[in-house]
Structure 1
Amino acid sequence: MERHIEGLSKDAYRKMIVIDGKGFLRQRGRYVGKGGVLTDTYLEDVRASGLTAISTTVGGSSAFEVTAAFMSRIDEAIASRPDALMKIETGADIDEAKQSRRLGVIYDTQGTHELDGKVERVAELARLGVRVFQLTYNRAALAGDGCVEGRNAGISDFGREVIEAIEAQHCLLDLSHAGRRTTTEAIAASKRPCAITHAGCNAVTPHPRNVDDAEIRALAEKGGIFGIYFMTYLRASGQSVRDDVIAHIEHAIDIAGEDHVTIGTDGDIDSLVLDKAFREYWRVEVCEPRVRAGIAAPNEGPDIFNYVPEYNVPDRLRLFGDDLIKRGHKLSRVEKILGGNLHRIYRDVFA
């Protein structure tokens, strides 16, 4: 595409509903709700981000009681700063967050471990505020196989019951981290629009965490949405950069259409500071435990970080939108990708 001189102005960006479909409430990598206290500096970054809402993980790898306790602590953190944050439970809440200039926080799970094998836990978690349920996380689970599980067995009978329960609770089914057969079968089993909130395109970069064109197309045909992450899996090796994100987003638009593509960075709001303390934390508390648990994927490591250097600022989505417009994408398309499409899906599904 030809590059335009004018990009995305700060004023136009401020008027948009901007949503990160998969991010985290973390300060310097530390989770809010796990001992982290919201600081004024962090909330300044939240405001500077221009985000209307962010979907943050509250469960998926722990038992129900542990997940519920963690959610309670996040509830308390949000309640402690009602001037800056609000919990999102309906699509209309996102409009309120925008109007009140607060960050809307959507609770999601990355997996179904917290269900403890009981499908009725879906309703209990929905009552506590979970609005997005991810079916699997990388390895085999009761609901189905994840993307690094070699057998690729698809969804189980329990998984089908979970999908029905998720939809009955007017929550969003998320197929990120799912195996290929699991993804295909879950899309077919769903009766409402579902999502892959954070992934890449396998046709651009072959990787277990990336998704084939056929699955992206089937998701869109079901009314769903496909989110591109700012992760290391956007390239075969080394640190992902701006051009990788753009290549994946443009391919996704070609396959799914502009009404079915969004961003789920799988990252934090604040800037990543690669100092000695963070590097040690990343190696000891993130990389090594993932290897021990068997959930690590190719192109992970202690010297590869989940960020895109050119977008390492709180308002990274404004810079990304600016790059898209300079490549010839219309403002209306950029508005959809940066949050309009997710806003539509949330309003439809959460109703």
Structure 2
Amino acid sequence: MTPPVVDGLQCGPYDREVFEQLRAGGVVCATATVAFWEDAVETMDALAAWHDLATDHADLVLIARDAADIERARAEGRTAIVLGAQNASPLQGRLGFVRHFHAMGLRVMQLTYNNNNEFGGSCYEDSDPGLTRFGREVVREMNAAGMLVDLSHSGERTRREAIDHSAVPVAITHANPRSLYDHPRNVADATLTALADRDGVLGLATYAAISGRYAATLDDWCEMVARTVERMGVRHVAIGTDLSPKAGPAEFGWMRKGRWTRGAQRGADLATAGAATEWLTDAAGLSRVAGRLTERFGFTEAEAAAVVGGNWLRLYETAFQPHRGD
């Protein structure tokens, strides 16, 4: 029996076919991106559209506001959708908007995306100023509201300072160890150690641009899982595919360029992008991961279950609860 699968990050357009792919992959929960560069009103529009979409396909999905909703979706044979933002741009300089967006269903937010901002540094910039004063306030407010701090596109200094500053464990939802594939989006070993020491979780991406040879086949990707577990411990490694179901040129153009440039921006797709991820064309392929980890890489069934879903479920149980601090 395939254990429950949780995908810590996806993005792109969704429809009934995508929801059926999630069910085919045994995915009991997936985090869907509602904002990259969007402002507050645009993000509210996206959240409203997601709630309408979930209502229209209520036999397949529900919007999860807490860990109990995820368990309810699992019991009912549906997929829980966690709504997340890959940037803190929806706040528009207003700390109080953290709680407003939490009330509208947002449960995961990256502090920075592909540019430095008022909260901290990005992995793509030449310099990383670290977590700013405003960034520290936002992390504290996210903890208090019950919103998971995501550091996937942040610079290393910002990542480490946010890990230390947060009162609850944080996540890097979709990145890989930089020591396994050298890419700006990926994470230094020292940061992975800090993340594990604070009981955080790394979601390993299947995106070929940041996975190199580890994206080519299921065995290659499971090798990356095994090598990451050796570095961090099985409790801290999970799945964050970065799949973009049905995304096309318009969606990828927005992800990479937003409104801040007219120039060509390739995002993570650098010249050394590596092989295509042929084993995972959609979420249905995720049903194969747990079995391959046990059959070929020596994981126990409990360890494989933790990686494919249990570690996210444990983190959500903590992070989605309000934490008032000292």
The code of the aligned residue for 1:309 comes to E
**Is 1:332 aligned with 2:302?**
yes
**Is 1:106 aligned with 2:82?**
yes
Q: Secondary structure at the match of 1:86?
A: strand
* Map of 2:324 onto structure 1: none
The code of the aligned residue for 2:22 comes to V
1:164 Cα deviation after fit? 0.5
The code of the aligned residue for 1:19 comes to V
**Is 1:290 aligned with 2:260?**
no
**Is 1:80 aligned with 2:56?**
yes
Between 134-143 and 306-315, the greater mean CA deviation after superposition: 306-315
1:239 Cα deviation after fit? 6.7
Q: Secondary structure at the match of 2:199?
A: coil
Tell me the TM-score normalised to structure 1 length. Answer: 0.83
**Is 1:350 aligned with 2:323?**
no
Compared CA separation, residues 131 and 306, structure 1 to 2 (3 A) = farther
Compared CA separation, residues 75 and 83, structure 1 to 2 (3 A) = same
- 8 Å CA contact retained: 1:238, 1:299: no
Q: Secondary structure at the match of 1:148?
A: coil
- 8 Å CA contact retained: 1:261, 1:337: yes
Compared CA separation, residues 268 and 158, structure 1 to 2 (3 A) = same
The partner residue of 1:320 within 289, 292, 298 is 289
1:234 Cα deviation after fit? 3.7
The partner residue of 1:341 within 283, 305, 311 is 311
- Structure 2 spans left out of the alignment, 5+ residues: 322-326
* Map of 1:136 onto structure 2: 112
* Map of 1:245 onto structure 2: 221
Q: What is the distance in 2 between the residues matched to 1:97 and 1:198? A: 23
Q: Secondary structure at the match of 1:105?
A: strand
The partner residue of 2:93 within 114, 117, 123 is 117
How many residues of Structure 1 are paired with residues of Structure 2 in the alignment? 316
Between 238-247 and 180-189, the greater mean CA deviation after superposition: 238-247
* Map of 1:309 onto structure 2: 278
- 8 Å CA contact retained: 2:214, 2:223: no
Q: Secondary structure at the match of 1:218?
A: helix
- Structure 1 spans left out of the alignment, 5+ residues: 1-11, 33-37, 273-277
**Is 1:17 aligned with 2:21?**
no
Q: What is the distance in 1 between the residues matched to 2:58 and 2:268? A: 40
* Map of 1:182 onto structure 2: 158
Runs of 4 or more consecutive aligned structure 1 residues displaced over 6 Å after TM superposition: 303-307
* Map of 2:22 onto structure 1: 46
Compared CA separation, residues 60 and 66, structure 1 to 2 (3 A) = same
**Is 1:221 aligned with 2:197?**
yes
1:200 Cα deviation after fit? 0.5
- 8 Å CA contact retained: 1:138, 1:179: no
Q: Secondary structure at the match of 2:152?
A: coil
The code of the aligned residue for 2:30 comes to I
Q: CA RMSD in A?
A: 2.5
Tell me the TM-score normalised to structure 2 length. Answer: 0.89
1:312 Cα deviation after fit? 2.4
Which deviations, in whole Å up to 9, do the C-alpha atoms of 1:72-106 show, x marking residues without a partner? 01101101121111110011111101000011000
Compared CA separation, residues 62 and 234, structure 1 to 2 (3 A) = closer
Compared CA separation, residues 191 and 44, structure 1 to 2 (3 A) = closer
The code of the aligned residue for 2:167 comes to K
Which deviations, in whole Å up to 9, do the C-alpha atoms of 1:148-192 show, x marking residues without a partner? 011121111111111001001011111101101111111111111
* Map of 1:194 onto structure 2: 170
Which deviations, in whole Å up to 9, do the C-alpha atoms of 1:223-273 show, x marking residues without a partner? 11111001123445897443542233222211111011100001046xx7x
Q: What is the distance in 1 between the residues matched to 2:254 and 2:115? A: 17
Between 221-230 and 241-250, the greater mean CA deviation after superposition: 241-250
Q: What is the distance in 2 between the residues matched to 1:173 and 1:267? A: 20
The code of the aligned residue for 1:202 comes to R
**Is 1:126 aligned with 2:117?**
no
- 8 Å CA contact retained: 2:168, 2:318: no
